[in-house]
Amino acid sequence: MEAIDSKGATFANSALVPAGYSKTSHVGLTGYWVGKYAPTGDLAPIGGTYVTYTTDSGSGAVVKSTYKRPAMPAKGLPN
């Protein structure tokens, strides 16, 4: 648990939005991208590129995210 508190926010993972773990908060991912469902029924980002938004569970604003997901660790194994 101490590991998540101190490093959880930087754990590599597939999400396109950042996670918010800290010693005082166990909040997970903090946002979404918006998409449209294709004729096949699959969800795809509007305009073909992911535009992500982040916010909090309080009164904070919804902002376009500048989060750049770190590259996947080698072979998909924890680093």
Partner 1 sequence: MKALQRRTLLTATAVLATVGLAVSAIPAQAAEVGVTATGIKLGMTLPMTGTASLGYNKIPGAAKAYFDYLNANGGINGRKVTLVVKDDRYVPTEAVAKTNELILKDKVMALLAPLGTANVKAVATSVNPARRGVPVLFVNTGFSGFADAKKYPTTYAVLPSYIMEAKIMGQYIKENFAGKKIGLLYQDDDFGSDALAGFKTAGVNFAVKVPYASGSQGAAAAAGWITKFKAAEADVVILFGVSSATSAMLGTAAQLGYKPQWMLGSVGGDATTIKLTGVPAGVLYNAIGFSPVPATTDMTDEYVKFFSDIYAKAVPGSAFDLNVLLGMNTAFMAAQALKAAGPNPTRKS
Window 24 to 53, contacts with partner 1 (CB under 8 A): 24-45, 50, 53
- Residue 8 touching partner 1 (CB under 8 A): yes
CB of 68 to partner 1, least distance (A): 14
Nearest to 46 by CA among 57, 37, 35: 35
CB of 69 to partner 1, least distance (A): 9
Q: Which contacts (CB < 8 Å, 24+ apart) does range 73-78 have?
A: 73/12
Nearest to 68 by CA among 12, 8, 22: 12
The one-letter amino acid at 23: K
**Residues contributing to the site for partner 1 (CB under 8 A):** 1-4, 7-8, 11-17, 19-21, 23-45, 50, 53-59, 62, 71-72, 75-79
